[in-house]
Amino acid sequence: METIKDALDFRDFSKAERIGLILFTIFLLAFPWIGTGSFVKAVMIQFLLFSLFGMGWNTIGGYGGQVELGKAQYVGIGAYTVSLMMVWWKIPFWVSMPIGVLIAIGYSFIIGYPLFRLKGHYFAIATICTSLVLQDIFINWKLVGAAKGIELPIHEHPDFLYMQFKSDTYYYYFIMVFFYVALFYMNRFRKSKLGYQLRMIKDDEEAAESLGIDARWCKIKAYTIASAFVAVGGGFMAVYNLYIDPYSVMDLDLSIKIALMAMLGGAASLWGPIIGAAFLVPLDRFLGSWLGGYKGLIGVDFMIYAMLIMAVSAYQPRGIWGIIEQFRRKGK
């Protein structure tokens, strides 16, 4: 009960933020009806999806301050679980997606245990490596489609259980529901014991330990929560795209984008990952279709992101949200 109350309690936010949240919610609800094309709707779905990823990343990467660059492996676990269970055993999305989340939790716990013996850059590199290894395994694993990936069987009629719809609008509303669940969860998380403990670990890990905090265990918990979030998004990607392969759901690109968006928007803040996704998802789409024509320009998009994040973080390490807060503090 108290948990739910906390999740829905935005009283500690400024009036502007609360009004912003209401307007934003009205906008999201109305969006499919304002007559935009399918391209814009697809961008919106991506935006909500990456906000979800970013909010998950924010637990360990933002509040916990651990440079985590391996979230793609959990997108993959979520996506593959849903796809394979559907192809092999016709198991509906609403069963396979939670199973994917459980697998992600178990897997993240197992690799989190040794991973969090490492600190700083070593940790960051190790997260990249574990993700690359898993991707490599899937690229070579015949049983799960290897590099060719998996196509999901297309149902003739719309099917809620299997999350198959003719219109993107349905997918839009479903990802929106996930988005809000994530948002409310994070609203509670930031006020929870674990949230406070992680922020202390980020500030000063030795001091945190001296205050009775088992830093490694806290990090593992946060990492596991982050992985669960991301696996939900992965499962959604499978039913939304109806096709997955190790490149689309487990690539390093994806891991970096998730972390980058949250950092650009403002790590360790509730709105940060959402703001970051609002900037980078459209930019990503735009650059993708613009640069797509030029074969030699692969990677230019990442150069642009890198410059963006350097520009923002040179000014304010806490990203766009940090800049907003800085002005608010000055204004007072």
- Taking 3-state DSSP, the helix, strand and coil percentages for the chain, each rounded to the nearest 5, stand at 75, 0, 20
Phi, psi of 164, rounded to the nearest 5 degrees: -120, 120
The C-alpha atoms of residue 253 and residue 299 are separated, in whole angstroms, by 10
* 157 burial type by CB count under 10 A (0-12 exposed, 13-18 middle, 19+ buried): exposed
The C-alpha atoms of residue 182 and residue 274 are separated, in whole angstroms, by 11
If the CB atoms of residues 34 and 314 are measured against other proteins, the closer one turns out to be 314
Q: What SS3 state is found at 64?
A: coil
- Give min distance, CB of 223 to other proteins, in A: 18
Q: How many CB atoms lie within 10 A of CB 119?
A: 12
Is-contact 94 161, C-beta < 8 A?
yes
Residue 243 pairs in a beta bridge with 151
The C-alpha atoms of residue 249 and residue 305 are separated, in whole angstroms, by 20
- Give min distance, CB of 48 to other proteins, in A: 28
The residues of the shown chain that bind other proteins, judged by CB under 8 A, are 6, 191-193, 196-197, 199-200, 202-204, 206-215, 268
- Give min distance, CB of 71 to other proteins, in A: 23
- Give min distance, CB of 209 to other proteins, in A: 4
If the CB atoms of residues 268 and 309 are measured against other proteins, the closer one turns out to be 268
If the CB atoms of residues 18 and 191 are measured against other proteins, the closer one turns out to be 191
Q: How many CB atoms lie within 10 A of CB 296?
A: 7
- Give min distance, CB of 85 to other proteins, in A: 36
If the CB atoms of residues 2 and 156 are measured against other proteins, the closer one turns out to be 2
Place of tokens 């934003």: 24
Q: What SS3 state is found at 317?
A: coil
Q: Which residues contact 221 (CB under 8 A, 6 or more apart)?
A: 194
- Give min distance, CB of 214 to other proteins, in A: 5
If the CB atoms of residues 69 and 213 are measured against other proteins, the closer one turns out to be 213
If the CB atoms of residues 176 and 270 are measured against other proteins, the closer one turns out to be 270
Place of tokens 């309690």: 9
If the CB atoms of residues 52 and 213 are measured against other proteins, the closer one turns out to be 213
- Give min distance, CB of 211 to other proteins, in A: 5
